[in-house]
Amino acid sequence: MLKIHYLTCSKPLLCLTFAAKYTYMSNRTFTMIKPDATSKGHTGAILDQILKAGFSIKAMKWIQLTEKQAGLFYDIHRERPFFQELVDFMSSGPIVAAVLEKENAVADFRTLIGATNPAQAEEGTIRKRFAASIGENAVHGSDSDENALIEADFFFSKLERY
Ligand code: ATP
Ligand code: MG
């Protein structure tokens, strides 16, 4: 957590911009409701759980990724053995992409969705409730503030968020 108010700052405008950027990043995360969950009709229930957990929606779209787009989004996993399976799955049907806001958004959302493998996810988490397997695991959640911003930029222009 950045404690900007303890710093002395000779360039107030620069410091304010810096503080605003970090405040924005640490309060927002990015999610996708994945094709398994949208095709099984779980979209409404998952959004309901997200809202009841205190997140607010700052951007949202219903979209089907091409294979190329899914590969770019998960580029970090390109060398992993499950990469092609992941790309095929993520481009197999529509997803809901969204930017969510809440204090401590990234960590709290990862807690809400549960472990990558639903068999190991805590009771009541989104993946425990709605996911069938480690590959088809219902939702994505950003793993850091930096990636939350990169992933939000991948899907949304500035005009599409508030
Ligand atoms: P996500 O990034 O989608 O929120 P995660 O951060 O919990 O998931 P990652 O390690 O980033 O997990 O893996 C990305 C995605 O790749 C997983 O959500 C899952 O869909 C898929 N995946 C991960 N491990 C496996 C595996 N062993 N076999 C098949 N698919 C996998
Ligand atoms: Mg991940």
Catalytic option among 5, 42, 77, 140: 140
What is the mean predicted confidence (pLDDT) over 81-102? 98
β-strand partners of 63: 95
What is the token pair recorded at 59?
Answer: 């951007």
Q: Where are the domains of the chain?
A: 29-160
140 classed as catalytic = yes
Angstrom distance (rounded) from CA 93 to CA 23: 34
Residue minimizing CA distance to atom 9 of ligand 1: 116
User: Which is the closest atom of ligand 1 to the Cα of 76?
Assistant: 11
Residues 2-44 have pLDDT tens digits of 434 444 556 666 666 655 555 555 799 999 999 999 999 999 9
Of the pLDDT bands very low, low, confident and very high (cuts 50, 70, 90), residue 80 is very high
Distance 116 CA to ligand 2 centre (A): 8
What is the mean predicted confidence (pLDDT) over 100-117? 98
Angstrom distance (rounded) from CA 33 to CA 73: 14
Q: Does residue 76 have its Cβ closer than 6 Å to ligand 1?
A: no
Distance 160 CA to ligand 2 centre (A): 24
Look at the block and give the residue holding tokens 């992933």. Answer: 151
What is the token pair recorded at 67?
Answer: 């294979």
> Of 34, 36, 82, which is best to mutate to test ligand 1, by the most ligand atoms within 8 angstroms of its C-beta?
82
The DSSP string of 69-123 is HHHHHTGGGTTSTTHHHHHHHHTSS-EEEEEEE-TTHHHHHHHHH--SSGGGSPT
Of the pLDDT bands very low, low, confident and very high (cuts 50, 70, 90), residue 117 is very high
DSSP code of 158?
A: G
Distance 137 CA to ligand 1 centre (A): 8
What is the mean predicted confidence (pLDDT) over 119-132? 98
The CATH architecture of the domain made up of 29-160 is 2-Layer Sandwich (3.30)
Radius of gyration of the chain measured on its C-alpha atoms: 17
pLDDT of residue 95 exceeding 50, the answer is yes
